[in-house]
Amino acid sequence: MDTHNVVALPVVSRVAVCGGTHGNELSGVYLVRERLKRREDGTEPVSVVTLMSNPRAVQLCVRYVETDLNRCFTRAALSAPVSEDSPYEMIRSRELNALLGPKGSVQAVDLLCDLHNTTANTGLCLITHSDCDWIALHICKHLQREMSSTPVRYVHFDLPLDEAYSLDSVGKHGFAMEVGPQPHGLVRSGIFSAMQEGVQLMLDWIWQFNSGTLFEGGSVDIFTMVKNIDYPRDPQTHMITAAVHPDLQDRDFCLLHPGEPMFLSFSGETLRYRGKEALYPFFINEAAYYEKGVALSLARKRRVEIPSVRSDTQR
Amino acid sequence: MDTHNVVALPVVSRVAVCGGTHGNELSGVYLVRERLKRREDGTEPVSVVTLMSNPRAVQLCVRYVETDLNRCFTRAALSAPVSEDSPYEMIRSRELNALLGPKGSVQAVDLLCDLHNTTANTGLCLITHSDCDWIALHICKHLQREMSSTPVRYVHFDLPLDEAYSLDSVGKHGFAMEVGPQPHGLVRSGIFSAMQEGVQLMLDWIWQFNSGTLFEGGSVDIFTMVKNIDYPRDPQTHMITAAVHPDLQDRDFCLLHPGEPMFLSFSGETLRYRGKEALYPFFINEAAYYEKGVALSLARKRRVEIPSVRSDTQR
């Protein structure tokens, strides 16, 4: 191997694993509780801060109490004035930013993994605002290699750091680890196990990376979010008038072609995808996005080459 | 056929179809909205009162606002004093009882069908407190005959009318029509369609019955609820420590034998069913029952013979 093409990167010393950012996404909630129970047993190869992001929402088993915590981490939101009358999640986002960030600073944790569940049939996705975070991309490759029964994908929301709104953007590297399908408010053993395996493999990779292992480059498919599609709605009442079509339901990351069925109205009419470009649907029929006017998102897939990496401090 | 063995029953003139008794069970919510939109078109063969049971909970997309409406219809609850400080659902249950009942009276609707969804893989269940309601049992037989792609079952909670707590107990005949699996807070097209088909077949049966059609008797399997099983919990914190085992998840109404896997703990330990009798699990991993301490329910199956029926007024 030509080691001149190896990118040397700082070690990933400080890792945060967060769950309960949405309080009714229970695999992450129980995984964090489980980790907190045994955090002192010293068996983990990497030092990890484990944290319940939104304990009040977890207590009530709701997504959020007053506003969606995972939309509170833009630069603007973090620097807006708050008072004791501000929404709980606005206040909590400052606490988390102080604890794990500040976002964009040298003090921020090296990697922030935020655990999420979706009702959509996504498998395991690493979701982040960056398409050139070699650490995140190498971790994705590692999970793709090692996880036999769960499809693993890299999803990219193309936003500058300042506008990235999610908790994971507080870390120097970071991503949401989104696993589905799981209904909100319950835990399915298979989904919990997939998330547990994903976290363990991530920590294994970090340990190997910090220990000086060289990871060879290669290609990774990146799904970049292009647009959201809302449900058909009644123009007067704004109520939805159709559900996701049975032919599309559960087919996240399967290419959707122009003219293919998208919705089936409650009165039995099929509505088709009217775009001009075949795209990859994801977050199909996510319960939490009804209020956001999103029936599904559409992504473009492209293959990117990532360099070989090793840590610049060989210990 | 020996018509001496035919039971003559009163016509089923007044039918109520209710949805949104739990505000986040969306197939019923959208089905009721759809019915209310086209209620004036006069195409339905039977006169039906269509009703949104808990509009405040529907508005907020939650199961209930202050207390579970579908536990408010015991004789005791309906006759307890209420004030304006009483939980919203206690007050709403009186309104519904006045509109559709009063429970146990001659004024009550002849049949009340209350639409529900569950996160459990139940198919379509008719759930009621009676195991000898020939109307409900004949409707069940009709659905079993006519629905090709959805399993249909009759579930019996053995309670005297006074102690029956659910909205459907307000009608002279009645049942919850429970369809799953569907996560709460979203609608899946296939589940919506199954519910729509179930309601339509029920109304078809009632129309035929009212028209003088003789329905032959036969046998129906009844699943009678025996007991609930809670999740394993931490004795100190009362937090659950295990999820439903992957071998049991989604296997509602498949016989569970003593010694078979029931839970998989978050640390990886399999916990087995310790009962002495093989029973039929149902409501496996229903999200709304975490707070009620129910991981699943167990039923005994028996086959009952039901008589041939016809209406006593041949129109």
**Residue A166 pLDDT greater than 70, yes or no:** yes
Q: State both tokens at B16.
A: 């109520």
CATH number, position B215 = 3.40.630.10
CATH number, position B284 = 2.20.25.160
Residues B235 and B210 in one domain: no
Position A264 in a domain = no
Round to the nearest angstrom and report the end-to-end CA distance of chain A: 22
The span from the CA of B194 to the CA of B115, in Å, is 12
Contact A272, A259 (CB under 8 A): yes
Position A185 in a domain = yes
**pLDDT confidence of residue A315:** 44
**pLDDT confidence of residue A4:** 60
**pLDDT confidence of residue A303:** 97
- Contact assignment for A245 to B189 by CB distance below 8 Å: yes
**pLDDT confidence of residue B4:** 60
- Contact assignment for B189 to A33 by CB distance below 8 Å: no
**pLDDT confidence of residue A313:** 72
**pLDDT confidence of residue B41:** 58
Residues B286 and B156 in one domain: no
Tens of pLDDT along B69-95?
999 999 999 999 999 899 999 999 999
**Residue A80 pLDDT greater than 80, yes or no:** yes
Annotation says B277 is catalytic: no
The span from the CA of A224 to the CA of A229, in Å, is 15
Contact B54, B92 (CB under 8 A): yes
Binding residues of A: 22, 25, 116
**pLDDT confidence of residue A40:** 57
Position A229 in a domain = no
**pLDDT confidence of residue B46:** 82
Neighbouring CB atoms inside 10 A of B247's CB total: 14
A25, A182, A187, A236: best mutation site toward chain B, by most B Cβ within 10 Å?
A187
Residues B179 and B258 in one domain: no
- Contact assignment for A189 to B243 by CB distance below 8 Å: yes
Residues B198 and B138 in one domain: yes
Q: State the amino acid at position A45 in one-letter form.
A: P
Domain count of chain B?
Answer: 2
Tens of pLDDT along B136-162?
999 999 999 999 899 999 999 999 999
Dihedral Cα B28, B33, B35, B36, nearest 10 deg: 140
Least confident stretch, A69-83, B39-53, B86-100: B39-53
Residues B49 and B197 in one domain: yes
- Contact assignment for B189 to A246 by CB distance below 8 Å: yes
Question: Which residue numbers of B have CB closer than 8 Å to A's CBs?
Answer: 30-31, 33-34, 61, 119, 183-190, 192-193, 239-240, 243-246, 249, 264, 266-267, 285-288, 290-291
Residues B142 and B23 in one domain: yes
Q: What is the mean pLDDT of residues A25-36?
A: 97
Q: State both tokens at B275.
A: 């009962």
Contact A6, A39 (CB under 8 A): no
Please return the burial class of B224, using the count of CB atoms within 10 Å of its CB with bins 0-12, 13-18 and 19+: middle
Round to the nearest angstrom and report the end-to-end CA distance of chain B: 22
What value, to the nearest 5°, has the Cα angle with vertex B78 and ends B72 and B83?
Answer: 95
Choose, from A40, A95, A146, A178, the residue flagged as catalytic: A178
Residues B129 and B265 in one domain: no
**pLDDT confidence of residue A230:** 98
3-state secondary structure of A173: strand
**Owning domain of residue B97:** 3-222+305-311
Residues B64 and B173 in one domain: yes
**Residue A3 pLDDT greater than 60, yes or no:** no
Helical pair A134-146 and A189-210, crossing angle rounded to 10 deg: 120
Residues 6+ apart with CB under 8 A from B148: none
Residue A240: closest CA among A228, A248, A232, A251: A232
Q: State the amino acid at position A305 in one-letter form.
A: E
Q: What is the mean pLDDT of residues A141-159?
A: 97
Tens of pLDDT along A200-214?
999 999 999 999 999
Position A178 in a domain = yes
Residues B273 and B183 in one domain: no
Position A270 in a domain = no
Neighbouring CB atoms inside 10 A of B66's CB total: 14
| For chain A, counts of helices (H) and of strands (E) | 6, 14
Tens of pLDDT along B210-223?
999 999 999 999 99
Residues B185 and B249 in one domain: no
**pLDDT confidence of residue B196:** 97
Residue B291: closest CA among A65, A29, A25, A59: A59
Instruction: Give the pLDDT band (50/70/90) at residue B315.
Output: very low
The closest CB to that of B267, out of A34, A186, A290, belongs to A34
- Contact assignment for B184 to A189 by CB distance below 8 Å: no
3-state secondary structure of A196: helix
Q: Is B20 left (phi over 0), alpha (psi -120 to 50) or beta?
A: left
SS (H, E, C) chain B: CCHHHEEEECCCCCEEEEECCCCCCHHHHHHHHHHHHCHHHCCCCCCEEEEECCHHHHHHCCCCCCCCHHHCCCHHHHHCCCCCCCCHHHHHHHHHHHHHCCCCCCCCCCEEEEEEECCCCCEEEEEECCCCCHHHHHHHHHHHHHCCCCCEEEEECCCCHHHCCCHHHHCCEEEEEEEECCCCCCCCHHHHHHHHHHHHHHHHHHHHHHCCCCECCEEEEEEEEEEEECCCECCCCCCECEEECCCCCCCCCCCECCCCEEEEECCCCEEECCCCCCEEEECCCCHHHCCCCCCEEEEEEEEEEECEEEECCCC
Position A84 in a domain = yes
Contact A283, A262 (CB under 8 A): no
Residues B215 and B239 in one domain: no
Position A146 in a domain = yes
Residues B100 and B124 in one domain: yes
